[in-house]
Amino acid sequence: AGGARGALRLAVPAALLRPPRPSRIGRIIQRRITTATGQTDAGPALTHEAAVQTSKAPMVLHNTSSRRKEVFTPREGHGNKVSMYVCGVTVYDYSHIGHARVYVAFDVLYRTLTRAGYDVTYCRNFTDVDDKIIARAGQNGEECDALVERFITAFHEDMSALGCLPPTLEPRATQHIDDIVDLTARLVAAGYAYSAEGDVYFAVDALPEYGALSGRKPEDNRAGERVAVDTRKKNPADFALWKAAKPGEPRWDSPWGPGRPGWHIECSAMIEAVLGRHIDIHGGGQDLVFPHHENELAQSTAACRCGMNHGSGVISLDKGSNGVISSDKGVARGDPLDSDRRVSLNQPTSGEG
């Protein structure tokens, strides 16, 4: 982290510089025009808007929960309104090539939905309090707030250089501490979470549906292989909703003492606060399906007790919804997108996400 940073430089494969071909829908319609009129030249390629309006072709997306492609239909009773939440970055370093792929993919989806006539509310968050942020700020000898602002600015520069549209909403976790504390307290009161020496953990055994999104079984969560076993947990797979403050760390007051939120609870609370308990599309990198998206779904399902078949604050899985839309061709990992590294879009990804 740190050091000089110039403009984003991306080496684009020559194939991407060729004039764009008509969309698949547009090519189908052009063939129909040729067949009906006998013309060999159907004229200029149809715009995406015209193609969609003319063909009325359904939009098909991959649903991580059902593990198959499904026709997209907004929630019943919401007309053409679509709410889409995409997990954003933890701002402790520059963005890498994996981030670029994920956010370009969802930018394309955002544009496609909008051009198809949907009124889309696109929310992409920032995780601005986290173990990695605290550790990096300590290494640099700077305040967490300064580190966060620097990398949020860099992220916006990168997204602009990639041509991504800004989302409708960009909430930050630290702007929703009260919402996070409230959601955590509701989970404790309902018996889905418990406190232990200032920390609060979600009890995975209390939710029978836990693991359904990722397909993981309880025996897959073997303790002690990569992290030390915490004997305060009822189940080694239980995860932190609230972390007791350590010396020098950011902290906020809570019923369990001063501390800060865990990673997963932040997204659940932000979604409920800015979009409501039910949304149409929840997206993110494929590598986040477990544990992050799984834990988001567990928290929100438990908080509203609406069940996976009736939607939740994180992923709406009721009839006509589409769950988590994942990137099918690789996880969100890669090298930082800074000019000093001279990252190329056609290079293989590497490095820690």
**pLDDT reading at 169 higher than 80:** yes
Calculate mean pLDDT across residues 298-310. Answer: 72
209, 301 Cβ separation under 8 angstroms: yes
**267-301 confidence digits (pLDDT tens):** 999 999 999 988 999 998 888 889 999 999 999 99
* Tokens of residue 253, six digits: 């007051």
Helix (H, G, I), strand (E, B) or coil at 104: helix
Dihedral sign, Cα of residue 217, residue 218, residue 219, residue 222: positive
Helices (H), strands (E): how many in the chain? 8, 10
DSSP per-residue letters across 292-329: IIHHHHHHHHHHHT--TTS--SS---STT---EEE-TT
Task: State the pLDDT at residue 221.
Answer: 64
Task: State the pLDDT at residue 234.
Answer: 93
* Tokens of residue 232, six digits: 């305060």
Q: Which residue has the higher pLDDT, 193 or 51?
A: 193
**210-227 confidence digits (pLDDT tens):** 998 888 877 676 554 445
Q: What percent of the chain has pLDDT over 70?
A: 68
**pLDDT reading at 236 higher than 60:** yes
- Between CA 340 and CA 59 the distance in angstroms is 40
In Å, what is the CA distance from 163 to each residue of 4, 8, 170? 23, 12, 17
What residues contact 346, with CB distance under 8 A and at least 6 apart? 11, 12, 13
Which amino acid is located at 42 in the chain? A
113, 120 Cβ separation under 8 angstroms: yes
**244-253 confidence digits (pLDDT tens):** 999 999 999 9
Task: State the pLDDT at residue 284.
Answer: 85
Domain boundaries, the chain: 80-218+229-317
- Between CA 150 and CA 94 the distance in angstroms is 9
**pLDDT reading at 121 higher than 80:** yes
**pLDDT reading at 21 higher than 80:** no
Which residues, in sequence order, are bridge partners of residue 193?
A: 202
- Between CA 313 and CA 334 the distance in angstroms is 30
Task: State the pLDDT at residue 67.
Answer: 86
Task: State the pLDDT at residue 23.
Answer: 42
Superfamily of domain 80-218+229-317, CATH level 4:
HUPs (3.40.50.620)
* Tokens of residue 61, six digits: 């997306």
Q: Global pTM?
A: 0.74
* Tokens of residue 120, six digits: 């889309």
